[in-house]
Amino acid sequence: MNPLDFSVEELEKLFTLANDIENHPQNYAHACDGKILATCFYEPSTRTRLSFESAMTRLGGRVIGFADANSSSAAKGESVSDTIRVISCYADICAMRHPKEGAPMVASEKSRIPVINAGDGGHYHPTQTLTDLLTIRSMKGHLDNFTIGLCGDLKFGRTVHSLINALVRYPGTRFIFISPEELRVPDYIIEMLREKNIPFEEVIRLEDVMPQLDLLYMTRVQKERFFNEEDYVRLKDFYVLDTTKMELAKQDMLVLHPLPRVNEISVEVDDDPRAAYFRQAQYGVYVRMALILTLLELV
Ligand code: NCD
């Protein structure tokens, strides 16, 4: 499952459902009675796995799975295709995170149950994008006509790649990419933006562009995808969003972050009403509830 598997209209339906779940959770408390979600996580995760588990549990369903490749048969050399064939006998739906790009896609081809990509390497993270879009839509009322700044590790940050791919479908989107030279957005994304004539800029200094932004999407430097420790250490604190920088921003700008945060947002910003990242985590549960219901065809 990729956000682009859904049309913009289908996404609207999903977000309307997520908002209804937010407002009337009791109406959905038994919607997945008797259903099982398998979480197959071959890579570390806290919130993505737990938010899937929370989502299924809040729908009345049950959860099985593993949180570590070493505790699964992958450690014995089993392929994801074989694993998913077997999981298809045990569960009704599966959320899979894998360090290899495309692994959940390969799994879905052999699966009898829906497989949700819960992050594949540095590639995509579609359910985080659904979370980001639902947060923006719920807090701003629309998804078009935004100038969005994406800041930090734009090279390895899979949430960034998925979000750009989704936002290009909304009219009036303008991107400002804020990163050190070494962590720029991959070329294939730049080419896609040029082809579609989507306006974008690439800059290094956050301060310079801050006043223009409607949304600021901060990201962590992705330590686990670096080839050497030295580069990571040099780049990890390149950006620190603090209250001084927030003074340069619009009064209604939203600060988003997929979390986990390291140092890129100072904790003093948490009290700023524009800081939306913890609410974003809450929206992540509602949107995953809506996604499970939709994929299981229970709505
Ligand atoms: C992100 C991820 O796993 O890519 N986290 C998440 O799912 N909320 C972002 C990150 O790890 O930096």
Residues 113 and 135 in one domain: no
According to the model, what pLDDT value does residue 4 have? Answer: 67
DSSP assignment of 16-55, as one string? HHHHHHHH-GGGGTTTTTT-EEEEEESS--SHHHHHHHHH
User: What pLDDT was estimated at residue 225?
Assistant: 84
Q: For residue 1, what pLDDT is reported? A: 57
Which residue minimizes the CA distance to atom 6 of ligand 1?
Answer: 258
Q: Does the beta carbon of 158 sit less than 6 angstroms from any atom of ligand 1?
A: yes
State which of 46, 259, 283 you would mutate to test the pocket of ligand 1, scoring each by most atoms of that ligand within 8 A of its C-beta. Answer: 259
Q: Is 159's C-beta closer than 6 angstroms to any atom of ligand 1?
A: yes
One domain for residues 185 and 55:
no
Residue 11 has pLDDT above 70, yes or no: yes
Per-residue pLDDT reduced to its tens digit, 271-284: 999 999 999 999 99
Contact (CB, 8 A) for 118 and 139: no
How many angstroms separate the CA atoms of 284 and 21, rounded?
A: 12
State whether 255 and 155 are in the same domain. yes
Query: Is 170 in the same domain as 64?
Result: no
Whether 106 and 201 share a structural domain: no
The residue to mutate among 117, 158, 159, having the most atoms of ligand 1 within 8 angstroms of its beta carbon, is: 159
Identify whether residues 97 and 171 lie together within a single domain.
no
Question: Is 48 one of the catalytic residues?
Answer: yes
CB 132 within 8 A of CB 258: yes
- In degrees and rounded to multiples of 5, residue 55 shows phi and psi of -60, -50
| pLDDT at residue 57, as a whole number | 98
Q: Which one from 125, 137, 220, 288 is the annotated catalytic residue?
A: 125
Atom of ligand 1 at shortest distance to CA of 157? 4
With 0-12 CB in 10 A as exposed, 13-18 as middle and 19+ as buried, what is 187? exposed
259 CA distance to ligand 1 centroid (A)? 6
- Split at pLDDT 50, 70, 90, the class of 213 is very high
Q: Is 76 a catalytic residue?
A: yes
Confidence of residue 46 (pLDDT cuts 50, 70, 90): confident
Model pLDDT for residues 53-71, shown as the tens digit of each residue: 999 999 999 999 999 888 7
Please report the pLDDT score of residue 68 as a whole number. Answer: 86
Report the alpha-carbon distance of residue 275 to residue 56 in Å, rounded: 27
pLDDT of residue 202: 98
Give residue 257's pLDDT. 98
| CB neighbours of residue 110 within 10 Å | 15
Tell me if 258 CB under 6 Å of ligand 1: yes
138 and 227 co-located in one domain: yes
**Nearest atom in ligand 1 to 125's CA:** 4
Q: How many domains does the chain have?
A: 2
| Same structural domain, 288 and 257 | no
10 Å Cβ neighbour count for 284? 27
Specify the ligand 1 atom closest to the Cα of 284. 8
Q: Choose the residue to mutate in 42, 47, 48 for probing ligand 1, maximizing ligand atoms within 8 Å of C-beta.
A: 48
Say what the pLDDT of residue 3 is: 58
pLDDT at 2: 62
Same domain, 193 and 270: yes
Range of the domain at 229: 126-280
- Could you tell me if the CB of 259 is within 6 A of ligand 1? yes
Q: What is the pTM of this model?
A: 0.94
16 a catalytic residue: no
Is there a single domain that holds both residue 8 and residue 146? no
For the chain, percent of residues with pLDDT exceeding 70: 99
- pLDDT per residue as tens digits for the range 101-125: 999 999 999 899 999 999 998 889 9
On the question of pLDDT at 30 being above 90, the answer is yes
| Non-local CB neighbours of 32 within 8 Å, separated by 6+ positions | 56, 59, 60, 61, 292, 293, 296, 298
Angle at Cα 262 formed by Cα 205 and Cα 159, nearest 5°? 75
Q: What is the pLDDT of residues 226-262, one digit of tens each?
A: 878 898 999 999 999 999 999 999 999 999 999 999 9
In this structure, are 63 and 136 located in the same domain? no
| CATH code of residue 254 | 3.40.50.1370
Same domain, residue pair 260 and 131: yes
Arithmetic mean of pLDDT, 66-88: 87
For 235, list phi and psi in degrees, rounded to 5: -100, -15
